[in-house]
Amino acid sequence: MSDKRIPCSVQILDRTDELIRLRCRGDIEAPKPGQFYMLWNDVSENPFSAADFSSRYETRLDIVAKRVGDDNSFTAHLFQLKDGDEIFVRGPYGKGFLDARARENETAYMIGGGCGIPPLMYLELLLALTRQPNVFMIGARNKDELNFYGADAQHVSTEDGSAGRRGIVTDLFDDVTPDQDSIFYICGPEKMMVAAAERAEQYTDPSNIVLLVERYMKCAVGLAGCCRIRGPEQNAYRVCVDGPAFTYDKLKGGDLGCYKIEPSGLRTKL
C-alpha cells in the first residue's frame, strides 16, 4: 500500500448520463478484490473500489463511478475527463473480500446490485483463476445498465424486466438454492445488502456473509474517523482500515442500513 499520489493517464472506456468507466494507467500497486483507491483531482479526493486491474502488459486500473451530487461534485468532474487527461491515485487500502472471509474449494455466492457489481466481477475473476466455483447473482434497473457493467452472471434481475427476472436482486433467491453453510459476498446499495444478507442467513451463519461497505472518507488510513460505522454493541469500526469488507455478524443490528456519518460529522438516517 502506498500513500503517495501516483499520476495516471486516463482513458474513458464507457460513459452514459449516470455511469462512467475509467481506465487509469500508471505505476499503481495491485489491489485485492474489494480494496479501494483514493482518486484525487482539483476538486477533492474520493474512494473507489477496483473494478479490474492488470499488470500483464501494462499497469492499468479500471474504476466505475456513478454521478452523484451537483455539477461541482467530484463525480461530475470525472464525467468531464477526456482521454489522456491526468488524475492522481493512491492506494490500495482496506481489507478486501477474502481478507474478511475466505473458504477455498467451496462454492462462493456473489450478489451484486448496481454499482456494486464491478467489484464482484473482479472477485469473480480471481476465483476463476483459482478454480473456485461460484454463483453470480446480479440486479440492475434495466438491460442497458447491465450491458454497461458487462457482467457475465448466471442469474440476472432487472427492475423493468428488460433482462432476466423482473424484480430486484434478492428475488433471485427464489431461483437459487444455496448450499448450507455457504459463503456469500455482497456489494451494492446498503439497504439492498441488508436485504440480501437477511436472505443469505437462511442458509449460513452471519460470519460467512461478507459485505462491502461504503462510507464518506477523508484519509483512508484510519486517522480522520469520519468513515466510522457502529456495530450491534455500539462498537465503532473505521471502514477505511477495518473494512470496507466486513462479515455481517460484526455489523448486524448496528448502523448498517440505518445510519451514516455526513462530511460535517453529523450522524443521519439513510
Q: How far apart are CA 173 and CA 192, in angstroms?
A: 13
Instruction: Give the confidence band of 44 by pLDDT, cuts at 50, 70, 90.
Output: confident
Given a cut of 70, whether residue 77 has pLDDT beyond it is yes
Residues 189 and 64 in one domain: no
Query: Which residue shows C-alpha cell 477526456?
Result: 82
Sign of CA dihedral 157, 254, 226, 184: negative
Neighbour-count burial of 28, counting CB atoms closer than 10 A to its CB (0-12 exposed, 13-18 middle, 19+ buried) = buried
Supply the CATH number for residue 102's domain: 3.40.50.80
Supply the CATH number for residue 72's domain: 2.40.30.10
H or E stretch at 246: strand 245-247
Write down the pTM of the prediction: 0.95
CA distances from 78 to 45, 151, 176, 197, 240 (A): 11, 23, 38, 32, 22
Number of domains in the chain: 2
Set of cell numbers at residue 229: 460505522
- The string of pLDDT tens digits covering residues 95-114 is 999 999 888 878 999 999 99
Residues 185 and 119 in one domain: yes
- Domain ends where: 93, 121, 154? 93
- Domain ends where: 67, 93, 119? 93
Set of cell numbers at residue 258: 440505518
Residues 151 and 255 in one domain: yes
Residues 253 and 176 in one domain: yes
Residues 80 and 122 in one domain: no
Write down the pLDDT at residue 157. 96
Residues 219 and 182 in one domain: yes
Given a cut of 80, whether residue 2 has pLDDT beyond it is no
Residues 186 and 234 in one domain: yes
Residues 60 and 103 in one domain: no
Residues 123 and 229 in one domain: yes
Instruction: Give the confidence band of 62 by pLDDT, cuts at 50, 70, 90.
Output: very high
Which range marks the domain in which residue 26 is found? 2-93
Residues 242 and 130 in one domain: yes
Query: Which amino acid, one-letter code, is at 8?
Result: C
Cβ–Cβ under 8 Å, residues 184 and 204: yes
Residues 133 and 28 in one domain: no
H or E stretch at 193: helix 190-200
Cβ atoms within 10 Å, residue 173: 19
Given a cut of 80, whether residue 136 has pLDDT beyond it is yes
